[in-house]
Structure 1
Amino acid sequence: MRKVTFIAVGVIAALVFFQNRYRVINFILGQNQIRHYFIHLMMRIPFFRNKFIQQAF
């Protein structure tokens, strides 16, 4: 019974997160330090860096 409850709560939490995913992402990336770290991390990946440079120039 405990396992079923745990799975049900997990599914409901995933559904709520999925419905509000853009609101959550905007809240997280609204923090300056987190946004700076995220951009720094993405610029280290060649695919994203090349796409960004092509759009910027």
Structure 2
Amino acid sequence: MDINMNNELNNELNSDFDDLEAMFGAADADIEKMENVVLSNNLKGFASCFPEWDLHPPIGR
């Protein structure tokens, strides 16, 4: 494969990824917020499996 053809393929691939990132990419703050919501929901679901256990984090004084 010739170097020019390889560079063209790489440029097309990078362009495709740029398009995907523009359509589906989210800002880091948005992703972090989404992760926190999912983790909180997962922890609440886990804690509900053990109602007699005190799974709440200690309150800082």
TM over 0.5, yes or no?
A: no
TM-score, structure 1 normalization: 0.39
TM-score by length of 2: 0.37
State which structure, 1 or 2, has the greater radius of gyration over its C-alpha atoms.
2
Q: Which has the higher helix share?
A: 1
